[in-house]
Amino acid sequence: MTPHNHAKPGDYADAVLLPGDPLRAKWISETFLEDAVLVNSVRNCLGYTGTWKGKRVSVQATGMGQPSLTIYVHELIKVYGLKTLIRVGTCGGLNAKVKVRDLIIAQGASTDTTIVKDAFGPYNFAPLADFSLLRDAVDRASAAGMNWHVGNMVSSDIFYHDDGLASYKALIDHGALGVEMEAAALYTLAARFDARALAICTMTDCLVTHEEISAADRQTSLKDMATLALDVAISA
């Protein structure tokens, strides 16, 4: 038990999916898992454990942003002993070749967060996905005919930038594909604590073309991401 999580030891499976949105945790659990049990509801940051294709797996919301995610991920690894953590997020698009509903599988994550930037002295740490999770996700997404892209994600602490797309220009010029708010801190904590992490995000709104998924279509458009992440999680 922690101030943010009332799950008991053993309530979580070895692998967990991490959506930002608590209602996405509920949706994934109720839609895809068998025998899902609510294991955490502190602050309504919902966590569940159930089975997918006969194997135990958990889903725990992290809230929005890297400060919130680091609380949940720190506790999942250090208190509950989890070793495999897969973010299932939404993201904005930074490259017109990525279409709405496409998956961005984050090979690395560039960030402005001091959680990462201040932890390495004079060096810039490069937060990276676990290679085996990354390879498995790409193989499975390809086999299933999903539209996917692998590359650099931007994990920003700021959702509303006053200068809009301009603040991302140098990152876009260096190939960044999308922007969200959690992957870099997830990858950094996984590296620090010898765990494995991957972020798979569905692109819901393109900052370049302004194409976006309607609010009504948002939930169903996340099905590819959820099933892909569940398959990777139970195979890890």
Ligand X SMILES: O=c1cc[nH]c(=O)[nH]1
Pick from 70, 30, 32: nearest CA to 46: 30
CB 140 within 8 Å of CB 203:
no
* 226 membership: H or E segment, kind and range: helix 223-235
Q: Which of 163, 194, 205, 224 is catalytic?
A: 205
Least separation, in Å, of the C-beta of 24 and ligand R1P?
7
Residue 64 touches which of ligand R1P, ligand X, none (Cβ within 5-8 Å per kind): ligand R1P
**Residue that is written with structure tokens 């996405």 in the block:** 24
Mapping DSSP to helix (H, G, I), strand (E, B) and coil, where does residue 101 land? coil
Work out which of 91, 190, 200, 232 binds ligand X, going by CB under 6 A.
91
Work out which of 159, 166, 169, 209 binds ligand X, going by CB under 6 A.
159
Phi and psi at residue 230, to the nearest 5°? -65, -40
Which segment (26-34, 72-80, 108-116, 203-211) binds ligand X by CB under 6 A?
Answer: 203-211
Structure tokens given for 84: 């495999």
Structure tokens given for 233: 């999680």
Kindly state the DSSP code that residue 222 receives in the 8-state scheme: G
Distance of CA 9 to CAs 55, 75, 195, Å?
A: 18, 12, 18
* Residue 14 appears among annotated catalytic residues: no
Output 50 or 92, the one with its CB closest to ligand X.
Answer: 92
Q: Considering the rule CB under 6 A, would residue 57 count as an interface residue with ligand X?
A: no
Least separation, in Å, of the C-beta of 61 and ligand R1P?
8
Q: Considering the rule CB under 6 A, would residue 179 count as an interface residue with ligand X?
A: yes
The residue of the chain with the least Cβ separation from ligand R1P equals: 20
Least separation, in Å, of the C-beta of 49 and ligand R1P?
19
Structure tokens given for 17: 């999916």
Which residues fall in the annotated binding site for phosphate?
Answer: 20, 24, 43, 87-90
Which residues fall in the annotated binding site?
Answer: 4, 20, 24, 43, 87-90, 180-182, 204-205
